[in-house]
Chain A
Amino acid sequence: MSTRKLLVSLALTLAFGASAAWAETPGLGKTITEADIKPWNLDVLPDGTNLPPGSGTPAQGAPIYAQKCAACHGEKGEKPAPGYGPMVGAHKFDKIDAAKTVTYYEFATTLFDVIRRSMPYTTPRTLTDNEVYALSAYILSINKLIGENDVMDAQSLPKVKMPNAGKFIVRFPDRI
């Protein structure tokens, strides 16, 4: 640290006390609260962190799927439109180019998250949280990952037993 910088730092320490640790940064961003970030703060973590209140069942999800998803992803998750992968499929991934369906995911939260943030493709983020739970329940159910009457909510969704859970090898552990 140059003498001048040191003096500036000391002066700021005297003036602002504890905040002096940041005094040398340009300080151009504005502060913002988590409450104001909430509309963008949609990510759901594998342990269920940030799942919203609400719930849904496969039966509730089926008609929403037929109306808002089937055109691209295929009726009941089969025979998708060109350029889209199927939503149901084998649990085996013994070929390097096997289609990765929902059964491939390590965590059920990934499904909920991608529906909530990205879908429907042409009108993203228009589904209610209950609809997202219902669609997640429906898709998990047609993949036989949950029962036909299981309710998906913030407690049950992260507990869904996914066949590939724990099977993934971290490719570059020293980079984490």
Chain B
Amino acid sequence: MTERRPKSHLPDVAGNGLLDRRALLGRGILFAGAAATGAGTTLTGAAAEPLKDDPWSLTMGAITPPRQEPSRFENKVIRTLSNPNHEFRNSHARTPHHLLQGTITPAALHFTICHSGLPDIDPDKHRLVIHGLVKQPKIFSLEDLARYPMVTRNGFVECGGNSAPMFSSEPFQGTAQALHGLVSNSEWTGVLLSTLLEETGIDPKAKWFLAEGADSLALHRSVPVKKALDDAMIALYQNGERIMPGNGYPMRLWLPGYQGNMNIKYVRRIKLLDQPAMSFYEAKTYSQITPGEKLWKFHFLQEVKSFITHPSFGHSLKGPGYYEISGVAYSGTGRIAKVMVSADGGKSWGQAALQGPVQPQAFTRFRMPWRWDGQPVVLQSRAWDEAGNAQPTREQFVAARGQTERPVASPLAFPNQHYNSITSWGIDNKGEIKHVYA
């Protein structure tokens, strides 16, 4: 094998062909590119046909529309649905991470979990009321809020049930979309909740607030006032445009780094309290059973996680040569400090390049240059956040949190919540990719 590889200035940093991330800076790529041709000949030798103009280059195209849609060739880049037949129950849509790049999730592809459909809210009639343990209850229209000082911040929202198929005793065979599609990342713009609490004042007895939506369930969750004073936002815009209906139009609570369900969509009411409300979702769904009948509540944080999106299940490698491994890493605690990548199932690791700017509670894209020699490999990524938290291995995670007794057959099963271990993609010598435990 080794004699087939042209020598690079930069040595492999880990097993099965992981290259030094500095190769991404330029010169190393050329050597890796040469490797892709296999025989070490020049790249020009592979040119196939003389160039010609295609039909679209010889005629005027369609007139530009008022709102752009992706190319018709991208019609497979869509969310997967949990309730395609519109039954009277909740409906989920998952982000196709394996078909996206960068860090911003297009708003149309942001995941949604709607427990009672998408409310059709007239923004002129929507109101946000803040009351309870405040000095003066206040009510705000969207027009009022739009005049307040706003902040813009990049960050993720992740469902507490994201990655739950990995609780399965056997690896669930699915794409990064099926496994991890309940996390997305946007640029959110809105008014800090602390700004609005300056208007109402806060009674010192207030330790919690509940946030409630204008959906038919009037879905509500309790949040410590600490978060309100820290960075909670009443978000009005998603990636520069008004928030999508599935994501909370016309306004949602955004709690950077906290469990998705707490980020109340269609928020209409904030009530300051001296105790948590113990709402249905915090008392039941998002209170975890852990091994030994140990029960957890108030699992606010989405802990440090990463997963490889390229290459991953649903892709196949077209022969040996150069590939870029990349994926996303994020932590509810803060910034990502480091991502390590392995191509030999965790035996050896190389440090990935982080695409800046690395922002707190936001997707960070990592990249790793790789030269595949055509042999079976297992790709993994592992992230650390700036507080020193390490993403657990699957073995560590299962030791602490358990797994199902029988394999999980559907990504809709949600055996438990808050799964964050390493994901492993096994690639065979044909370049086919499976989800494996390693």
Contact = CB atoms under 8 A, between A and B. Distances in A.
B89 A175 contact: no
B391 interface: no
Interface in A18-40: 22, 25-34, 37, 40
B207 interface: yes
Interface of B: 87-90, 116, 129-131, 136-140, 144-145, 147-149, 167, 195-196, 198-201, 207, 210, 212, 216-220, 224, 226-227, 268-269, 271, 273, 275-280, 283-285, 287-301, 401-405, 413, 415-416
Contact of A168 (B224, B297, B402): B297
A132 to B, nearest CB: 14
B216 A97 contact: no
Nearest to A42: B218
A16 interface: no
Contacts of A27: 199
A28 B144 contact: yes
Given A105-B283, A118-B216, A84 B271 contact: no
B437 to A, nearest CB: 17
Nearest to B418: A171
Interface of A: 22, 25-34, 37, 40-47, 49, 72, 83-84, 92-98, 100, 104-107, 109-110, 113-114, 117-118, 121-122, 124-125, 164, 167-172, 175-176
Given A107-B283, A171-B297, A31 B137 contact: yes
A32 B87 CA distance: 39
Contacts of B167: 96-97
A136 to B, nearest CB: 13
A27 B269 CA distance: 18
Contact of A28 (B147, B200, B404): B147
Nearest to A123: B216
B278 A46 contact: yes
Contact of B298 (A33, A37, A110, A172): A172
A175 B199 contact: no
A110 B283 contact: yes
9 contacts: A28-B140, A31-B138, A32-B137, A40-B268, A42-B218, A104-B287, A106-B283, A170-B298, A176-B224
A169 B294 contact: yes
A40 B226 contact: no
B402 A96 contact: yes
Contacts of A41: 131, 269, 271
A22 B289 contact: no
A167 B295 contact: yes
Contacts of A43: 210, 212, 220, 271, 277, 279
B289 A117 contact: no
Nearest to B301: A172
A149 B285 CA distance: 30
A115 to B, nearest CB: 9
B287 A168 contact: yes
A86 to B, nearest CB: 13
Given A37-B129, A171-B300, A176-B226, A96 B284 contact: no
B137 A34 contact: yes
Given A22-B198, A95-B405, A176-B226, A32 B278 contact: no
Contact of B280 (A25, A49, A118, A125): A118
A34, A97, A118: most-surrounded residue (chain B CB, <10 A):
A97
A17 to B, nearest CB: 15
Given A110-B279, A113-B279, A175 B224 contact: yes
A80 to B, nearest CB: 11
A105 B284 contact: yes
A16 B288 CA distance: 51
Contacts of B139: 29-32
Given A33-B137, A105-B284, A106-B283, A25 B298 contact: no
Contacts of A30: 138-140
